[in-house]
Amino acid sequence: MLTCIIRYHIDPTKKEQFQRYARNWGQAIPRCGADLVGYYAPHEGSSTLAYGIYNIPSLAAYETYRSRLADDPLGRENYAFAQSEKFLLREDRTFLTLASAPHGESQ
């Protein structure tokens, strides 16, 4: 299992647009094959950092998921929304594997 963590740098004056974007992914991502953990908007501290986190079985499954997301009507709408509103200043993806669970339990 891989965990994808997307780190976003957002325009701090467009937090509401990011929250709409996040809610839309909350519907589209699970429908397209990934296990969404959640989207996180700035609250305290940095006003420009936000995160999206989901799990996917493998990089091959990720490629299939991305293809489904690109074909999904809400996915296409959300990509277009981000482009038109320009609230995403930067987006970085990192894929991680679980090294330790709470209390040292292995996975």
Q: What pLDDT, in 10s, does the model give residues 14-58?
A: 999 999 999 999 999 999 999 999 999 999 999 999 999 999 999
**pTM for the whole structure:** 0.89
Q: Which CATH entry fits the domain spanning 2-90: 3.30.420.40, 3.50.40.10, 3.30.70.100, 3.40.1440.10?
A: 3.30.70.100
Query: CA–CA separation, 95 vs 4, rounded Å?
Result: 5
Q: Return the amino acid letter for 20.
A: R
Convert the pLDDT of each residue in 55-100 to its tens digit: 999 999 999 999 999 999 999 999 999 999 999 999 999 999 999 8
| Contact between 48 and 12 (Cβ < 8 Å) | yes
Residue the block writes with tokens 């996040």:
22
Q: Residue 91 corresponds to which amino acid?
A: E
Q: Where are the domains of the chain?
A: 2-90
